[in-house]
Structure 1
Amino acid sequence: MPVMTILSCKILQDEIVHLFENDPCIDEITVIKNNEEKDFLTKLDNAGLKYSQKHLKDMPYAVDREDREKYIVMVYLVELALHEFPKILREEVYRLLENVTPYSDGILLFYGLCGNVLDKVEEDFRHQESTCPVRILRDDKRIVDDCVGATLGGGEEYLKILKKFSDKGTFLFTPMFAHSWREIMRVDPVKPEKTLKMLRKVNEITGYKRVAKIHTRLGYTPDFDKNVEEFARIFDFEIHEVEGNQQIFRTCYAAMKKDMGLIDIQPGT
């Protein structure tokens, strides 16, 4: 069986663990070493999932792989800070796609449009469709806007939430967003107050007044409530509650398996 590579923003690592926990067809999990995988490995350990760690260069090329009976998933996590620079994010994702293609029989991008910079990614890699198809997260109509849109269930649900909170600026936090907001917002870990002061000013100017917790119902990232409450306290925000789901991830993962010629078993909920 072939290798599926999941090239993913670190913010969606919980969703990957959930898929792996619920797919009995996986024979082997390989996590690529690139200094972005520490939290993910802890979650795999806590879930009781076995895995190996390798540098990409140590993986066998797809054409040279001897054991074709195993279904292997290879995970390559990408740093969070790139979201601040959409053009650089696109360049990095495209570079990584080129890098992982020789080792893969199919690549599933755990990304959305991300400022429309990834809207043509499937088209741009169509030339390798017969050997290593590339797919990105979609709802039943189009590519999702971003990781938040995917967690909410797609474009229509995302739009409903945005309309619901349209009277005030609202941060939408998944458990991983709440865990990583300092990294995402580039808060200086040594002298944070300067950055926080600037962020307070930006929030005041742009009208951000609250944070909404997206309940993914995944328990891999601890202290969700605590992290959101800390963020709200620092910026004097209201806290609201929003329901998310895993449907986009389950559907896209199952579709990728089918496109790769694997048995189409839908992972459990």
Structure 2
Amino acid sequence: MPVMTILSCKILQDEIVHLLERDPAVNEIIVVKNNEEQELISKMDAAGLHYTLMDLEQLPPSPQRMDPEKFTVIICLVELALHEFPKTLKVEVYERIGRMTTYSDGILLFYGLCGNVLDKVEEDFRGQENTCPVRILRDEKRIVDDCIGATLGGGDEYLKTLKMLSSQGTFLFTPMYAHSWREIMRVDPEKPEKTLKMLRKVNEITGYKRVAKVNTGLNYTENFHEKVEEFAQIFDFDILELEGNQRIFQDCYASMKKLMGLPGMM
């Protein structure tokens, strides 16, 4: 039974649900319990996806899964707040890869360069290429910069967008980013106004005056527009709209399936 692990930042959970919902070749979905999965499984429930929730220690090692006709996907989410600490993020991701190798025939990272700390991840795990290859999100030329770059379609599209927005500082929000901005920006739930006051000052100093909604085409996260409007109102920002897509995620998922000897998406 070929087993693919998707090791992902929590902010890309919608993209995972979308892929699983569209791929009838998946016979089994396992979600690793680690206190990061609750929103994901709620969305999977709403989408009608069947899954098993397991502690990591409950997973059977890959060699014990001998049925070549079945395809299993394991989902392991990583804490969102780690993006603020790139070196810690690298340690955590590398440790997770090392642990998941035992249970997987291939590991697909739903990450970008993330401050360049993951730029060598495929090279660093090249020694297990024949047993459990590791791949990261990339376009036709290179690894994507981050989740926004992946959603916009890759490095060239991201650079073009940033140049277009260069006249004023602009936050780019996907639905999950909009949903999680307080967590990402570490707004103290006990004393939010203190943090928001500091953020307003930082935005003033750095020249941030706008927020752009990146429309991903996915509707798993509710109240996208309302969350962006809330953010804009708090900081007195203008709102722009940008179009994103799922091409990078679909292409990288299909490429990993092919590498594992499985047919493409649909």
Band the TM-score falls in, shorter-chain normalisation = over 0.9
Task: Give the equivalent residue in structure 1 for 2:94.
Answer: 94
Task: Give the equivalent residue in structure 2 for 1:241.
Answer: 241
Q: Which amino acid aligns with 1:105?
A: D
Aligned with 1:214: secondary structure?
strand
Aligned with 1:151: secondary structure?
helix
Deviation at 1:191, TM superposition (A): 1.2
Q: Distance in 1 between matches of 2:219 and 2:117?
A: 31
Q: Distance in 2 between matches of 1:79 and 1:235?
A: 26
Deviation at 1:69, TM superposition (A): 3.0
Task: Give the equivalent residue in structure 2 for 1:180.
Answer: 180
Task: Trace 1:166-205 onto structure 2 (pairs within 5 A).
Answer: 166-205=166-205
Task: Trace 1:1-269 onto structure 2 (pairs within 5 A).
Answer: 1-263=1-263, 265-267=264-266
Identity among equivalent positions (%) equals: 71
Deviation at 1:71, TM superposition (A): 0.3
User: Which consecutive segments of 4 or more residues in structure 1 shift more than 2 A?
Assistant: 64-69
Q: Which amino acid aligns with 1:186?
A: R
Aligned with 2:261: secondary structure?
coil
Q: Distance in 2 between matches of 1:157 and 1:174?
A: 16
Deviation at 1:189, TM superposition (A): 1.0
Q: Distance in 2 between matches of 1:138 and 1:209?
A: 30
Deviation at 1:66, TM superposition (A): 4.4
Report the TM-score when normalising by structure 2: 0.99
Q: Distance in 1 between matches of 2:73 and 2:63?
A: 16
Q: Which amino acid aligns with 1:58?
A: Q
Gaps (5+ residues) in structure 1? none
Gaps (5+ residues) in structure 2? none
Q: Distance in 1 between matches of 2:220 and 2:169?
A: 28
Q: Distance in 2 between matches of 1:138 and 1:98?
A: 21
Q: Distance in 2 between matches of 1:186 and 1:252?
A: 31
CA RMSD after TM alignment: 0.8
- More displaced stretch, 65-74 vs 91-100: 65-74
For residues 144-203 of structure 1, the C-alpha deviation after alignment (integer angstroms, 9 at most, x for no partner) is 000000000000100111001001110000000000000111111111111111111111
Deviation at 1:70, TM superposition (A): 1.6
Aligned with 2:212: secondary structure?
strand
Q: Which amino acid aligns with 1:153?
A: G
Matched length: 266
